[in-house]
Copies of this chain bind each other. A is one copy, B any other.
Amino acid sequence: MSSQPTRIVVIGGSAAGPKAAAKARRMDEFAEITLVQREQELSMASCGFPYYVGGTFDDRNMLICTPAGNVRDSQFYGKAKGIEALVLTEALRIDRDTKTVTVKHLPTESERTLHYDRLVIATGARPVCPNAPGFDLDGVQTLHSMGDADTLRAIRDTKAVEKAVVVGGGLIGFEVCEALRLAGIDTTVIEKTHQILPFLDPDLAKLVENHIRANGPDIIVGNGVAEFLGDNGKLTGVKLDNGTELPCQLAVVAVGVRPNIDLALLSHLEIGDQGGIRVNERMQTSDPDIYAVGDCVECKSLISGHWMRAPYGDIANLQGRVAGQNIIRENSASFPGITQTGICKIFDFTVGFTGLSAQAAKAAGLNDIETATISGLDIPVFMSGKLLISKLVAERESGRIIGFQCIGPGDVSKRVATMAMAIRGKLTVEDMVNADLPYAPPYSLALDHTIVSAQVMENKLKGLMQGLSVTEVKQRADHGADCFILDTRSPEEFEAMRLGIGETLIPLGALRGRLNELPEDKDREIILYCKISLRGYEGAAILQQHGWRNVKVMEGGIMAWPYAREK
């Protein structure tokens, strides 16, 4: 401590940057720490913007407060953290030879040179702009900065907009969609690809789509923005690739973000093939005195080993903490990588995922996988349980769990956290079938949804059950395939709700006595289901053992069926 204080400069004051600075301060009371932030605000809860816009809360300060209620402004950083926070200040360039950063105070345009012993780049990401004319019209927005949040909140409060279009059907797109809908705005979400929520497999995404439509907003997939239409500089509508024009006074663009690597490029730091700054486990860039954290870097997938982008607030905070330790005590902390976990509230549904979907696994070259889709309640009927629909992905050979998607009105969050930890622990399906989880009726079924999911997967891996997805069954029905479709529910249930895809009703309890009604050809494909396909599975076991050789269960049952029903 008698030596010269370490000089630390952190560029970026939103999430990862402040975390790195604060951790460094706690590790070294005498370091000189400067935080450079382009915006006015510091350490904003950006993920809270949609809830502010939607009116979940009204006090804007809550987005920039500590839990104890202190606004995290420059003064707070100075007093509580001993960190000099330069706001409205842009870092212009890094000189790695002289170890300096040149910054400009935007209001005064005055420049200043900061010396560093260790530099942290936390420049975040920038919203991707669709390549369409009219993007600069008044009324075309993103939701990235506090300023954006203020603008959208003002639109809500003044009731200035009747119709809005959200461009982009990802997490943020639908959070914005819900916020606009809650503000009473007639909202349409458009998505260029053929599926919303790309981290889900299509069957599950379609169920979410149904839920969103049921809450008012419309969704158009397979159609991007061709042009933002305007009049006198003001947005009047959005023209789609197929020529459709959607009149609107507001368009919120949420088609993803791109790492902000301008400074890193200028300084010739290594950039990865995913477009982010390449860092090692210590969060060090190719220059060992320069660290990088948050949305501007690439992370390693703990599942595939591939480099990925993970622009999530929690990852930014984790990385910031690791960098903060290492810039004071070299090699004292590591960030091993990510499993890719995310979650989102969309009206009464929660949509969550961890690890790889089936399509992501295949895209990553993992082809020998098995999936298991189930429906079920989160807690017992007598405790007013709510539905969960999930899809588990595992490697067939090793049984290792590599992905889990879960949606529905039930407690998705807990199940995704549970499976995220299973993936982190490199657990197999065999480990998971006997997991010891907290059970009491207010919180779980006796066998939690995650355990049942693993048990169904185990049944499939052991060859005890053959499954079909709802989509595969729909295709068979649409093409008039020669299969025998069996609904194993009760007549009352059949009367109240049914698919109408040529199915025969034989309640499970009657099945053993009515085997003569089943196909004589023991090789004919038989597809069973019930409400959630538990009785379907039990029925399938009966038929298999009575000699039918091509017996399949429609996974997830009617609850997982996203297509139109007869009733």
Contact = CB atoms under 8 A, between A and B. Distances in A.
Contacts of A21: none
Contacts of A508: 80
A439 B26 CA distance: 25
Nearest to A319: B434
Given A315-B436, A436-B354, A380 B48 contact: yes
Interface in A3-19: 15
A521 to B, nearest CB: 20
A395 interface: no
B416 A343 contact: no
Contacts of A431: 336, 424-425
A437 B80 CA distance: 29
Given A420-B436, A509-B80, A541-B26, A65 B413 contact: no
Contacts of A344: 440
B532 A439 contact: no
Given A314-B436, A422-B425, A441 B47 contact: yes
Nearest to A509: B79
A227 B109 CA distance: 85
A424 B344 CA distance: 27
Interface residues of A, number: 111
A341 B316 CA distance: 31
Interface in A22-38: 25-30
Contacts of A207: none
Contacts of A464: 26-27
A267 interface: no
A107 interface: no
A56 interface: yes
Contacts of A381: 62, 65, 67
Residue among A26, A313, A434, A530 facing the most chain B CB atoms (10 A cut-off): A434
A420 B65 CA distance: 32
Contact of A447 (B25, B318, B439, B542): B318
Contacts of A336: 431, 434
Interface in A53-107: 56-57, 59, 62-63, 65, 67-68, 70, 76, 79-82
Contact of A420 (B171, B302, B437): B437
A1 interface: yes
A163 interface: no
Interface string A437-475: 111111110111001000100000010100000000000
B490 A68 contact: yes
B436 A30 contact: no
Interface string A279-306: 0000000000000000000000010000
Contact of A425 (B421, B434, B532): B421
A257 interface: no
Interface string A356-400: 000000000000000000001100111100000000000000000
Contacts of A56: 382-383
A136 B119 CA distance: 76
Contact of A443 (B25, B45, B383, B413): B413
B317 A380 contact: no
A159 interface: no
A464 B175 CA distance: 39
A438 B64 CA distance: 22
A520 to B, nearest CB: 19
A269 interface: no
A434 B318 contact: yes
Residue among A338, A340, A446, A532 facing the most chain B CB atoms (10 A cut-off): A446
Interface string A157-187: 0000000000000010001000000000000
A51 interface: yes
A493 interface: yes
Given A15-B446, A48-B383, A541-B26, A438 B421 contact: no
Nearest to A59: B382
A144 to B, nearest CB: 16
A370 B448 CA distance: 31
Contacts of A345: 440, 442-443
A563 interface: no
Contact of A314 (B342, B446, B489, B512): B446
Interface string A461-505: 010100000000000000000000000011001000000000000
A438 B417 contact: yes
B421 A342 contact: no
Contacts of A63: 382
B343 A439 contact: yes
A217 to B, nearest CB: 18
A345 B70 CA distance: 33
Contacts of A318: 433-434, 447, 451
A335 interface: yes
Contacts of A67: 376-377, 381, 532, 534
Interface string A326-357: 00000010111011111111000010101000
Given A79-B509, A418-B418, 12 more contacts: A48-B383, A57-B382, A76-B509, A80-B535, A313-B439, A335-B434, A345-B442, A352-B438, A414-B414, A420-B435, A421-B421, A425-B431
7 contacts: A25-B541, A47-B446, A79-B509, A313-B439, A350-B443, A420-B437, A424-B436
